Structure 1
Amino acid sequence: MEGLVTLSPTKPNPSFWSGKRVFLTGHTGFKGAWLALWLSRLGAKVVAVSLPPATTLNLAGLIDLDTMIDGRIADIRELDGLKRHLQSAAPDIVLHLAAQALVRTSYQEPVETFSINVQGTANVLEAVRAAGTARAVVAVTTDKVYRNIEQFYPYRETDPLGGHDPYSASKAAAEIVIASYRDSYLAAAGIAVASARAGNVIGGGDWSADRLIPDAIRAWSARETLVIRRPQAMRPWQHVLEPLSAYLVLAERLWSDPKLAGAYNFGPPTYEAASVRDVILLARQCYREGEIIWGDGTEGPHEAAWLALEVAKARHVLGIGARWSLQQAVGRTIDWYRRLERQEGRARELCIRDIEEFERTARQDDST
């Protein structure tokens, strides 16, 4: 296979990122805040745009992210303003994470979801085209871009796109936009573009509505009963640092080999996909208390019952594989919230602690 790696670039390379000009969208979100912090630690010069945080309690505010990067409040749906921000940043690399990222919200606000996720993505790529400084772009979508036919089958990058709910459909449409801009404009301009389809992400610092671990933390910390709507739903769960590391390594590889442009799945091995029940039972074991009511899967709008990703391409082409097991990912996530709740560490310190441990694990794996 062309581009097959013989030495795995298993973690971001500080010498690569030091001094790189990076334009990031979505830095006030959960994943975006973690990524901006990591980039800052790697020595990158980050200019970021995003809407204001969606929740009063949010990771970007808790870690004082604006003291580490040039963070700007802007809407990616406003093309002219986005062009000005990107032009002034003159980035080497663009990482696009801004999105309306919640399935249930997409049912309530479908037009806004399509506007942000589809038109917003087109605007980012158009701004990249206009600026002409970037050499690599990683645009983040989701594992839900595939036409899910509810079979026990891990989806590959070549499988048909689709989406029952507006969120999934909007991200599938964004994938088509990404491929179109890559094929029509950006490849010829020497800009390598890849899309990243990551599995369900957990980690400290997420307070979004209708997400499994944040819902559990809110309920148990308030001594309330956690209600689980679909305990049997299967998903490819992973700690937030897994896909973020993958995005950074992917950008490094695109920089050195533009032929690697394309779509990539990132997640745990298929056999480690787990049910919502499994994850919550692990979380309660780590939290050491908490009541649960198990639903029967009929409440609320449609959500896929089974989803897993085939990650062989990322493993063989990029050398990327999962570092932490599901038990480790859940354990570190719950520990993050517990330490913050007990004032045993500030949010930034807790994030840095996890990043350092993840990097240490990668070094150990590389040496074996």
Structure 2
Amino acid sequence: MTKTVLITGGAGFIGSNLADRLVSDGCRVRIFDALARPGVERNLEWLSGRHGDLIEPVIADVRNGDALAAAVRGADVAFHFAAQVAVTTSMVDPASDLAININGTFNLLEAARLASNSVPVIFASTNKVYGDLVQFGSELTEGGHYPANAQLAASGVPESQPLDFHTPYGCSKGAADQYVLDYARSYDLPTAVLRMSCVYGERQMGTEDQGWVAHFLIRALQGEPVTLYGDGHQVRDILYVGDAVAAYLGVWRNIDRLKGQVFNLGGGPANAVSLRALLDHIAQTLNSRVNIEMSDWRPGDQRWFVADTRALDGALGLPAKLDWRVGVARLAGWLAEERGLALPAGTTPLAAVGAR
């Protein structure tokens, strides 16, 4: 039988990529999205144009419990991406951040628990639940900020790292993270949590506050300056969206074995790069200078975060992740095409770096 998959936030960046893959695999996909983020309506139009009636749009907000309960009916699984996603926005409007991230997640969990088939819920969490990690210290190296602990620097932050919520966003996503895990403990609901690092790729409508890899590329392609906060030597592990989609699908397909568990999802040490190094690479790839402006550190900004992904990689037998240089080139090509921008003369041929 054809599976029906519910994706909250399904018109967003990761959600739309996941939806496309699911329909290609033979599923029907119910897209539950408020379309509040500018640009995501284009993702929904793309999905509907590409897949027709196999995409079922539900334009609604996760704060509407009745609408969410109706969307859960008949679903075989729910992937939960709908969220308030920016630390900066949470600082300005913590009430909305709480209502969307905590209450919205609670609404979905209750709907899934009360459904006749006990719908599995797979939740998109964040590395921000680990806090700023200042207890590890930080050394500024040639590659950016890295912890003094060599083993930690080499392998990344494990799931056993104590939680330390910072900023309203960290608190709301962290609380939702724990609710999802507890519904597996308290109600035997098949749930799992993926704590994501920075995911990037096609269909990302990057802004300064969220989707920074795409934001850097958009600014560079348009000849506009990029603002770096702090010193710009912050290090992140970045993950190509195709690899993220493979992980979400793998967790669903193994939910009976993995329910109640939490996993880090990121590029890992092999895909760790500082913000400045990424901008240098973009300038080289586009054969054009990227102008940089500096500003103060922002709340909750980790100087270093790299995920230890060995638990998830081992549980699912995932292949090696796409090298970030290849993924960034793919995203640059897609953004230029999607926005009608010409790649600068002398740009590295994207086809030459397009293979895994």
**What TM-score do the two structures reach when normalised by structure 1?**
0.80
3-state SS, counterpart of residue 43 of structure 1:
coil
Aligned counterpart, 1:222? 222
- Check 1:135–1:74 CA distance in 2 against 1; reply closer, same or farther (3 A cut): closer
User: Which residue identity lines up with residue 268 of structure 1 in the other structure?
Assistant: G
Number of matched pairs: 322
**Is residue 23–residue 29 contact of structure 2 (8 Å, CA) maintained in 1?**
yes
- Check 1:27–1:265 CA distance in 2 against 1; reply closer, same or farther (3 A cut): same
Question: Residues of 1 paired with 2:44 and 2:61: CA distance?
Answer: 19
**1:290-318 superposed Cα distances (whole Å, 9 cap, x missing partner):** 432152x6244441111111111112222
Q: Residue 341 of structure 1: CA displacement?
A: 4.0
3-state SS, counterpart of residue 108 of structure 2:
helix
Q: Residue 116 of structure 1: CA displacement?
A: 0.9
Aligned counterpart for 2:97 among listed residues 110, 113, 118: 113
- Check 1:85–1:322 CA distance in 2 against 1; reply closer, same or farther (3 A cut): same
Q: Residue 193 of structure 1: CA displacement?
A: 0.9
Aligned counterpart, 1:241? 242
3-state SS, counterpart of residue 328 of structure 2:
helix
Q: Residue 98 of structure 1: CA displacement?
A: 0.7
Aligned counterpart for 1:78 among listed residues 64, 70, 86: 64
Aligned counterpart, 2:120? 136
Question: Residues of 1 paired with 2:101 and 2:331: CA distance?
Answer: 27
**Is residue 94–residue 136 contact of structure 1 (8 Å, CA) maintained in 2?**
yes
Kindly indicate whether residue 248 of structure 2 is the aligned counterpart of residue 264 of structure 1: no
Question: Residues of 1 paired with 2:170 and 2:48: CA distance?
Answer: 29
Kindly indicate whether residue 191 of structure 2 is the aligned counterpart of residue 206 of structure 1: no
User: Which residue identity lines up with residue 286 of structure 1 in the other structure?
Assistant: T
3-state SS, counterpart of residue 91 of structure 1:
coil
Question: Residues of 1 paired with 2:313 and 2:178: CA distance?
Answer: 24
Residues 287-366 of structure 1 aligned to structure 2 (within 5 Å): 287-295=286-294, 298-342=296-340
Question: Residues of 1 paired with 2:114 and 2:305: CA distance?
Answer: 37
Question: Residues of 2 paired with 1:51 and 1:132: CA distance?
Answer: 26
**Is residue 87–residue 168 contact of structure 2 (8 Å, CA) maintained in 1?**
yes
- Check 1:184–1:208 CA distance in 2 against 1; reply closer, same or farther (3 A cut): same
**Unpaired segments of 5 or more residues in structure 1?**
1-17, 345-353, 362-368
**Is residue 225–residue 291 contact of structure 1 (8 Å, CA) maintained in 2?**
yes
**Is residue 267–residue 322 contact of structure 1 (8 Å, CA) maintained in 2?**
no
Aligned counterpart, 1:36? 19
User: Which residue identity lines up with residue 245 of structure 1 in the other structure?
Assistant: A
Percent sequence identity is 25
3-state SS, counterpart of residue 65 of structure 1:
helix
- Identify the structure with the greater strand proportion: 2
| Higher RCO (CA-CA < 8 Å; seq separation 6+) | 1
**Is residue 22–residue 92 contact of structure 1 (8 Å, CA) maintained in 2?**
yes
Question: Residues of 1 paired with 2:94 and 2:320: CA distance?
Answer: 33
**Is residue 199–residue 266 contact of structure 2 (8 Å, CA) maintained in 1?**
no
**Is residue 229–residue 299 contact of structure 1 (8 Å, CA) maintained in 2?**
yes
Q: Residue 204 of structure 1: CA displacement?
A: 2.2
Aligned counterpart, 1:51? 34
- Check 1:318–1:261 CA distance in 2 against 1; reply closer, same or farther (3 A cut): farther
Kindly indicate whether residue 183 of structure 2 is the aligned counterpart of residue 181 of structure 1: yes
**1:188-208 superposed Cα distances (whole Å, 9 cap, x missing partner):** xxx421011121011122224
**What TM-score do the two structures reach when normalised by structure 2?**
0.83
Question: Residues of 2 paired with 1:126 and 1:193: CA distance?
Answer: 12
Question: Residues of 2 paired with 1:176 and 1:159: CA distance?
Answer: 14
3-state SS, counterpart of residue 32 of structure 1:
helix
3-state SS, counterpart of residue 236 of structure 1:
strand
Aligned counterpart, 1:91? 75
Q: Residue 57 of structure 1: CA displacement?
A: 6.5
3-state SS, counterpart of residue 238 of structure 1:
strand
Question: Residues of 2 paired with 1:98 and 1:243: CA distance?
Answer: 16
- Check 1:76–1:157 CA distance in 2 against 1; reply closer, same or farther (3 A cut): same
**Unpaired segments of 5 or more residues in structure 2?**
137-146, 343-350
**1:70-95 superposed Cα distances (whole Å, 9 cap, x missing partner):** 011111111122112212xx111111
- Check 1:260–1:54 CA distance in 2 against 1; reply closer, same or farther (3 A cut): closer
Residues 51-70 of structure 1 aligned to structure 2 (within 5 Å): 51-56=34-39, 59-61=42-44, 63-65=46-48, 67=52, 68-70=54-56
Aligned counterpart, 1:348? none
**1:230-268 superposed Cα distances (whole Å, 9 cap, x missing partner):** 4111111111111111001110011xx345531011122
Residues 162-181 of structure 1 aligned to structure 2 (within 5 Å): 162-181=164-183
